[in-house]
Homo-oligomer: A and B are copies of this chain.
Amino acid sequence: MFEMTIQPRFSETDAIGHVSNTVMPTWFETARDPIFSILHPNMVIDGWPVIIAHIDVDYLRQIHLGHGVNITTQVEKVGTKSLTVYHEAWQQGRLAASGRAVLVYYDYELGETVAIPDKIKIELEKNITVVPITKTK
């Protein structure tokens, strides 16, 4: 399981007074950096091997300015060509949002999906979490 802490920015709030719901996908994307490091260790844009096929977010509580948000990131499932990542956002000890992203291994030059190389697949599978996450908190 990977973790990072984000300080909400004033510009990330909206007129309701809390962090805008539209911000969560940007936080979850940046929390996937350790996953990208596995998929593409040199992190160079040329040859970037992955596209995003799906995201979803469930919003459970408002997120406020002034307190850090802890984002957890886990590999949930690894398929032949794709993987599912699961995130949770916690603020002041409470789960505020959770969500998933489906990433597809992709060859930009061929313009098509390709199989995840075995070496990378093994590395991803090492990071699969088997116990339901929320329950264990």
Chain A residues within 8 Å of B, Cβ to Cβ: 7, 9-11, 13-18, 20-23, 25-26, 29-30, 33, 36, 43, 45, 48, 51-59, 65-66
Partner of A53, one of B25, B33, B58, B66: B58
Q: Which residues of B contact A51 (CB under 8 A)?
A: 59
Number of copies: 4
Q: Which residues of B contact A20 (CB under 8 A)?
A: 10-11
- Given known pairs A15-B45, A45-B16, A48-B16, the reply for A56 and B55 (CB within 8 Å) is yes
Q: A-side binding surface: helix, strand, loop or mixed? A: mixed
Q: Which residues of B contact A21 (CB under 8 A)?
A: 25, 29, 52, 55
Partner of A10, one of B14, B57, B59: B14
A11-B23, A17-B45, A21-B55 given; 8 more Cβ-contact pairs under 8 Å: A7-B30, A9-B26, A9-B29, A10-B36, A11-B29, A13-B14, A15-B18, A54-B57
